[in-house]
Structure 1
Amino acid sequence: MINYLAKLTAWLGQRMFLIVLSALFLGFISPISDSAGLRTIVIGSFAYMTFVTALDTSFKEFLQVLKRPVIPAWILVLIHIVSPLIAWLTGLVLFAGDHYTQLGYLVGASTPIGVTSVIWTALTQGNVSIALVAVTLDTLIVPIMLPFFFKVVIGQALQIDYMQMMVQLLLMVTVPSLLGMALHDYSRGILTPAIKTVANFISKMAFFAVIFINAAIVGPSISWDISTLKIVLITMFLVAAGYLIGFLGSYVFKDRSKETALAMIYCVGLRNISFGLVLALSFFPPPVAVPITMFILYQQPFAAAIPYLFRKLVKGTA
């Protein structure tokens, strides 16, 4: 039974694209209303996935990255300066006069790192320590950085409960990561292959649940017409640009490795769209949320395609 489950888990790990697409499709056609219970399930699933991912990382590896935070700091620069600038300029050029869409792209590109960046980094054998440090640092600076950012760029002070948001991110990322690394270092044989196999399989199911629930919540807010189709196409470009910024940004480092590049690609490319939607719907007119909603159509499918594109690129430059 364990051998079969291990083979199934490995098969799913190599075909995450299918999990993402099926979860998106089923979510969009499912009549599920947003609720506190669903949000709790999403937070719990994220926490579990992060915990399982951290089981393969030691405190020593994490602290080595934390002592030299140049790469995570550079990731935050790409996320909170370069990406928003590109999104804002894209909105100004392609949606002249449509201030709501321009603002939507700016808000979407300014959201913090998505928790799934750690999961995808682990799935593709990237440097999980870099991803964990980047997400943790972002968790700590976002409550201070975002209000200042919107005040300067938009000229509007936002009254947001960032403390609650920070607590949620800490519960989803920081706490389970620390617990997972602690168990890794002090397990002393407790984590047998069988236990890891079961834990990894449940993690795949949790990943499906997170995408499914988010798609089900977002689906009803999409009204398909010509203007929406234009937003869909431009959003595809911006999501792809996010991953590309992470990839090109990795060339800043002379000792760049495959593991570092993958961590940067996912950390820069994957954003916390759920938070972006809450931010837009809570403090701006509803049209601002439309471009942000479209990000969910591409982020996970593109994330699943990255390993294949990365391997082809590496072979082409070898």
Structure 2
Amino acid sequence: MNKLYTFPQRYLMISVPLTLIIAFIVGTMVDTRVLQPVVLYATIIMIYATMIGFNFKELTSLQGTKVLIFSMIINFIIVPIVAYLLGVTVLKEYPIMFAGLALSALLPTSGMTISWTALHQGNVPAAVKLTIFGLILGSLLTPWYLLLMVGQLVEVDILQTFQTIITVVFVPMILGHITFKILMKRMTLPEFKRRVKPALGPLSIWAMLFIVFVSVSARASMIINNLELILIATLVLIAFYTINFAISTFFAVKFFNRGDGIALVNGTVLRNLSIAIGLAVASFGAEAALIVTIAFVVQQQGIALYGKLALSRWFKKDKKEESNIMNKPVQA
């Protein structure tokens, strides 16, 4: 059972495409729209699981200020401009998909930012700070950016968007912090990291896959009848991520050391697609959810390929760093 429970997290690049295929098949045979009200609760669970044990004390630390400032400039100026230019040129005839791309662009960083930074042996504390600030600032700015970027093409309800963000971001954040405080009264931090934290990641992924399944299966017939939407969305997202990887890598290599550079790239290229798809379903519908869903696949494949390339070129460890790691004493 544990292998089944952790499978989506261990094989995310397989899980998302497989969920898409199953959603299409089931959606052509069964009307799954009855499940749509449950999507909101699944979104809350998904974010809640990632918020338990989040180190909010990182917000008060002055370390990593430079990389934080650069990440905010990239995340909230450069990336939205890239998304806007792609939207008005390629997606002008598909305004709902444009809204989905905008949502993907406006919500930076996720738990994957921290995970990939740790995997690439970058600056994990900096990645945590980028994730927290990006999540909070992105949540506050997204409704206004949406109005500015797609307001002339799609009706944007500012109040409704704020209400949705409060429900799916800030409520789970507060509940996650309360849960962590309660757990700390019953166990030590090492026990939490060993026994509880590993079980939270898969829960978040399962909730995400449920959202993907419902959002796609409920509109399967419409999507299948418009397969060109999938092709257009895929090409736009490949262009979006390629440009973002290039821009982030330029700043990371030019202005930062290896550890901070890795954190910067992962904190500016990886988007919080879990929240984006919840907002897309609630605010815009099928086409918006479709482009965010495909973004899951492009993002995971992209960071995996980029990691192999970057670690062998731009973020190679010198011999001194490798020696320090090999000789570093193991702490109990």
Fold shared per TM-score above 0.5: yes
Q: 1:105 to 1:23 in 2, by over 3 A?
A: closer
Contact 2:19 2:209 in 1 (8 A): yes
Amino acid at match of 1:109: L
Amino acid at match of 1:175: I
User: Counterpart in 2 of 1:86?
Assistant: 86
Contact 1:50 1:173 in 2 (8 A): yes
Contact 2:215 2:281 in 1 (8 A): no
Q: 1:205 to 1:19 in 2, by over 3 A?
A: farther
Deviates more, 1:167-176 or 1:138-147: 167-176
Amino acid at match of 2:306: F
Shift of 1:225: 7.8
1:204-252: CA deviation from partner (whole Å, max 9, x where unpaired) = 1331232123322322313368872222111111222332233222123
User: Counterpart in 2 of 1:138?
Assistant: 138
Amino acid at match of 2:276: N
Contact 2:277 2:292 in 1 (8 A): yes
2:283 aligned with 1:279:
yes
1:100-134: CA deviation from partner (whole Å, max 9, x where unpaired) = x2x12321222266879412112313623212211
Taking the aligned partners of 1:157 and 1:24, their CA distance within structure 2 comes to 27
Q: Aligned ranges for residues 107-118 of structure 1 at < 5 Å?
A: 107-111=99-103, 117-118=109-110
Contact 1:27 1:212 in 2 (8 A): no
Taking the aligned partners of 2:140 and 2:105, their CA distance within structure 1 comes to 12
Contact 2:9 2:205 in 1 (8 A): no
Deviates more, 1:103-112 or 1:157-166: 157-166
2:199 aligned with 1:201:
yes
Taking the aligned partners of 1:226 and 1:47, their CA distance within structure 2 comes to 33
Taking the aligned partners of 1:150 and 1:294, their CA distance within structure 2 comes to 17
Q: 1:224 to 1:140 in 2, by over 3 A?
A: closer
User: Counterpart in 2 of 1:96?
Assistant: none
Taking the aligned partners of 2:179 and 2:105, their CA distance within structure 1 comes to 20
Shift of 1:43: 1.1
User: Counterpart in 2 of 1:124?
Assistant: 116
User: Counterpart in 1 of 2:251?
Assistant: 252
Amino acid at match of 2:52: F
Contact 2:50 2:201 in 1 (8 A): yes
Taking the aligned partners of 2:280 and 2:310, their CA distance within structure 1 comes to 33
SS in 1 for 2:91: helix
Aligned residues: CA RMSD: 3.9
Contact 2:100 2:280 in 1 (8 A): yes
2:11 aligned with 1:19:
no
SS in 2 for 1:241: helix
User: Counterpart in 2 of 1:308?
Assistant: 304
Amino acid at match of 1:211: L
Q: 1:305 to 1:159 in 2, by over 3 A?
A: closer
Q: Aligned ranges for residues 54-65 of structure 1 at < 5 Å?
A: 54=54, 57=55, 59-60=57-58, 63-64=61-62
Q: 1:262 to 1:183 in 2, by over 3 A?
A: farther
Amino acid at match of 1:314: A
Shift of 1:83: 0.8
User: Counterpart in 1 of 2:220?
Assistant: 222
Give the TM-score of the pair, scaled to structure 2: 0.71
2:37 aligned with 1:45:
no
The sequence identity of aligned pairs, in percent, is 14
2:96 aligned with 1:104:
yes
Which of 260, 265, 269 is the aligned partner of 1:261? Answer: 265
Q: 1:159 to 1:300 in 2, by over 3 A?
A: closer
Taking the aligned partners of 1:266 and 1:61, their CA distance within structure 2 comes to 20
Taking the aligned partners of 1:270 and 1:42, their CA distance within structure 2 comes to 8
Shift of 1:27: 4.2
Amino acid at match of 2:190: T
Taking the aligned partners of 2:113 and 2:243, their CA distance within structure 1 comes to 16
Amino acid at match of 2:305: L
- In structure 2, runs of 5+ residues without a counterpart are 119-126, 317-332
Taking the aligned partners of 1:172 and 1:20, their CA distance within structure 2 comes to 26
